Amino acid sequence: MRVLSAIVIPPHLTASGAVRAGERLSAELSRQCDITVASMLNGRAAHVGAPGDPAAKRQEVRTGLPPLLPWSRVPQGYRTPFYRSDIPAIVRRGAFDLVHLHNPMPGFELERIAGACRRRRIPYVISTHGYNEIAHGEQIHGFGRAQRLAWRRLVLAPVARATARASGIFALSPADIPIVRGMGYRGEITIVTNGVDLPAPAEDAQSAAVLSRHGIPPRRAGEPLTFMFLANHTPNKGLPILLEAFRRLRCPFRLVIGGEKRAGIDYEGALRACGPGQEILVTGRLDDAELSPLFRRSDCFIFPTLADTLPLAVLEAMAHGLPVIASRVGGIPFEVDDASGILIPPGHPEALARAIGRLVARPSALAEMGRGARRRVEQLFTWPVAAEQALAGYERALAAVPRAHRAPPPRSVSLPRHQDAIG
Q: Which domains does the chain have, with CATH numbers?
A: 2-195+382-405 (3.40.50.2000), 204-380 (3.40.50.2000)
For residue 113, the model assigns a pLDDT of 98
For residue 236, the model assigns a pLDDT of 86
CA 292 to chain centre: 18
For residue 54, the model assigns a pLDDT of 64
CA-to-CA separations, 305 to 72, 348, 350, in angstroms, rounded:
32, 11, 15
As a whole number of angstroms, the distance between CA 367 and CA 338 comes to: 14
Report the 10 Å Cβ neighbour count for 32: 14
Report the 10 Å Cβ neighbour count for 144: 9
Q: Per residue in 340-387, pLDDT tens?
A: 999 999 999 999 999 999 988 888 889 999 999 999 999 999 999 999
For residue 414, the model assigns a pLDDT of 41
| Closest C-alpha among 82, 78, 38 to residue 57 | 38
Global pTM?
A: 0.83
As a whole number of angstroms, the distance between CA 9 and CA 407 comes to: 26
CA 31 to chain centre: 23
CA-to-CA separations, 410 to 64, 95, 120, in angstroms, rounded:
26, 6, 9
**Block mean pLDDT (10 aa), the chain, length 423:** 95 82 93 94 58 74 90 85 96 95 96 97 96 87 88 95 97 95 96 91 85 89 92 89 95 93 90 94 89 94 93 95 96 95 96 93 90 95 95 94 57 40 45
